[in-house]
Chains A and B, each alone.
Chain A
């Protein structure tokens, strides 16, 4: 069971998730402090560790649009957040798969702050409202990266297998 700690609308950009002015910071150990930095209240909760690992951010369509900055993923990973959204922007989705951020695509998701979600393989159940929403699978090509534990181990495996242009 995972609690919804923040709800957001459509087209949440990487500038909102991780503002550009902090881009000089790149290390995954350092990026978490700037998660949602322009939402002072939520950022304060995160940095004070008042948001338990596994908590959920629910968003609309096109979450993570904009920049290719990987900080937008590592900053969420640092707080062990899960993102349940109606849809994801391409580069963000790929970065999340590559770095092992937990993403759930549920095109009709409805959930409010404080509600609890149960994530199954093919569905998301809002246990507070009792509503069930379909969950889309990751394309198989990406599933291989997830299965390997992220792009770094997957690339390592391919390198050792002799894959090279």
Chain B
């Protein structure tokens, strides 16, 4: 019987000949990632060793990654003290994949991991962040866990009691229209599957649209797979994966891409015709409340956010800067831009995108998670509406339960910044063109 990607990865990582969806395995971790919540992981880790007579020792410090991104630079003495504690722990335990608050090496964990080549095809990646699903874009099995489970992984190097997930095969075919991109594909998919449609399942992406999509776009798909409840999204590694890892992440080791068997057994199949897809918008207060842009055009917005682990990559910034260049953010609208990493920030600076944003009236912030989850800057006022390229719009997500958040692509966000209402970038571009 043929195997899916996740079945093959877990068989290898658990040292078994073959596993099938539903089996319970204990896979070895290839990478164990945390952000500021490492402060809690440390507490739980030390607690495990209480009364054992054993010295607390991380099973393999070279496989642990810690990236500060949620509240950077620290917004409070409490956060700063937790970050200090993590820093000391990192030093004492020889953790090398540590990214502190720095303009060059820092950034959001789901960009820092891939761009530094920490994620490899076929790897088991665990992270104390639900958007760890992102790393499936490189052909890994990557999933979110809580802090206590991470403490267990630090101690044992394996994930205990993992059920091999069933897989939903997602096939995307055809050329995406102009101003329609990976974000529209995943919003559409989450809308179709619903917020729990893939709970406990893996989404495995296939089709010529995916084949032609760069890793940056695949990261968007896998990042938001969790919004349909998926344990992970996976794009089986291919030539593009290898290109990304060699050229952009500068990985030199031998890589072992994992492909599914032609006769792999899937729980179900979902097909998407990319050629028919319009720009998509997720409306308050649910990520699966997805509409084509025509349904919500004209909705007044007060804050535009471009960035995050979902859409803060160079091609996102390039697209948005191209729309904004030479124009002004509408009066009464605040626009925030936060690149996904220091490396991307630098590239955007050198290419002039940052100047485009600032001259248009946007505020460019340091890479981090801040506004997306309402922990650090960019809070909304009562009754205000945000249009954001981030990944969640739950009630209160941006720090105020009396506000509303719509989710969209960078193209829709940039176009809407110019008009002050939710706008179709194709219409805005046509008007700009006519005015020129």
List residues of chain A with CB under 8 Å of any chain B CB: 10-11, 13, 15-16, 19-21, 23-27, 38, 61-62, 65-70, 73, 87, 89-91, 94-95, 98-99, 139-142, 144-145, 150-152, 154-156, 158-160, 163-165
Contacts and interface: CB of A to CB of B under 8 A. Distances in A.
Interface in B50-94: 50-52, 54, 59-60, 70-71, 75-76, 78-79, 82
B199 A89 contact: yes
A62 B229 contact: yes
Contacts of B82: 24, 26
B157 A62 contact: no
B146 A73 contact: yes
A152 B148 contact: yes
A87 B59 contact: no
Given A65-B195, A150-B148, A158-B156, 19 more contacts: A15-B392, A16-B394, A16-B396, A20-B396, A20-B397, A23-B373, A24-B78, A24-B79, A27-B40, A68-B129, A95-B146, A152-B148, A155-B152, A159-B48, A164-B59, A164-B155, A164-B158, A165-B59, A165-B158
Q: Which of A20, A158, A160 has the most CB of B within 10 A?
A: A20
A47 to B, nearest CB: 17
Contact of B60 (A67, A94, A142, A165): A165
Contacts of B394: 13, 15-16, 66
Nearest to B165: A90
B364 interface: no
Interface of B: 24, 28-29, 36-37, 39-40, 43-44, 47-52, 54, 59-60, 70-71, 75-76, 78-79, 82, 127-130, 132, 144-149, 151-152, 155-158, 160-163, 195-196, 199-200, 229, 231, 286, 288, 373-375, 392, 394-397, 399, 401
Contacts of A165: 28-29, 59-60, 156-158
A163 B28 CA distance: 11
B151 A24 contact: no
A15 B196 contact: no
10 tightest Cβ-Cβ pairs between the two chains A and B = A165-B157, A20-B373, A62-B196, A95-B146, A141-B161, A38-B401, A13-B394, A155-B152, A141-B24, A26-B40
Contacts of B47: 152
14 contacts: A11-B196, A15-B373, A15-B395, A19-B396, A26-B82, A26-B147, A66-B130, A89-B196, A94-B145, A98-B148, A144-B161, A156-B51, A159-B48, A159-B155
B196 A65 contact: yes
A20 B149 CA distance: 20
Chain B facing A: main interface SS: loop
A17 B401 CA distance: 12
Contact of B151 (A25, A91, A155, A163): A155
A23 B144 contact: no
Nearest to A31: B40
Contacts of A20: 373-375, 396-397, 399
Contacts of A65: 195-196, 229
Contacts of B288: 11
Given A67-B130, A155-B156, A11 B399 contact: no
Contacts of B36: 24
Given A66-B392, A145-B161, A26 B155 contact: no
Contact of A154 (B71, B132, B160, B373): B160
Given A20-B373, A90-B200, A94-B146, A70 B40 contact: yes
B160 A38 contact: no
Contacts of A16: 394-396
Contact of A156 (B48, B59, B79): B48
A99 to B, nearest CB: 6
A145 B229 contact: no
A70 B132 CA distance: 15
A85 to B, nearest CB: 11
Contacts of B71: 23-24
B157 A164 contact: yes
B360 to A, nearest CB: 29
Contact of A94 (B48, B51, B149): B149
Contacts of B132: 68
A91 B146 contact: yes
A99 B148 contact: yes
B310 to A, nearest CB: 14
B11 to A, nearest CB: 16
B61 to A, nearest CB: 13
A142 B161 contact: yes
A140 B163 CA distance: 10
